[in-house]
Structure 1
């Protein structure tokens, strides 16, 4: 197989990975890097990178909301409060994050771990 055919096969496999993964962030980003670096298709690569970034952020938001809940349920308030502060900075407009953060703070307040004047 010559170099051109090999690159065509690599691209085909990356495109299949995007489809098989239901357009997951890692697959989108790998295809974007290939298209940018190997094929020189910068505009298409940029669109794929933007989509991959949006999907990665959604995954991070989902993961952090779940972690906040689990830390709170396990009374791991130090971890929960630290993550809550970070999550609020990254996702200030996320209702899901704000709800989870509020729940963590209420639980930590009930446990006497934060001063009521510092809540919110």
Structure 2
């Protein structure tokens, strides 16, 4: 997928996230969408910066670290951990939505930089 396709996909997913939040949707579903959305924003940002990106989550943190993008590797790792807890473990909601949206906002800002 090309950079522009990633950014369009990310923006479309973000609209779905906003809709689910406004409707007080399922936290697990919101987390999944944030996770996927962040992957598209990261792909877009990497393509802009490095001329290459990863289309799958496996190895994405390593890919980012190899390019000195430690903050983004940590951010994506946070989402990965939250996602596993919400999708597989069913941990309590707490501040989950606020946290994943905060991380998504950081990733989005990074994607549009430069």
Task: Give TM class, smaller chain.
Answer: 0.3 to 0.5
The structure with the larger Rg is 1
TM-score (norm 1): 0.36
The structure showing larger relative contact order (alpha-carbon pairs under 8 Å, at least 6 residues apart) is 2
From the two aligned structures, give the one with the greater helix fraction.
Answer: 1
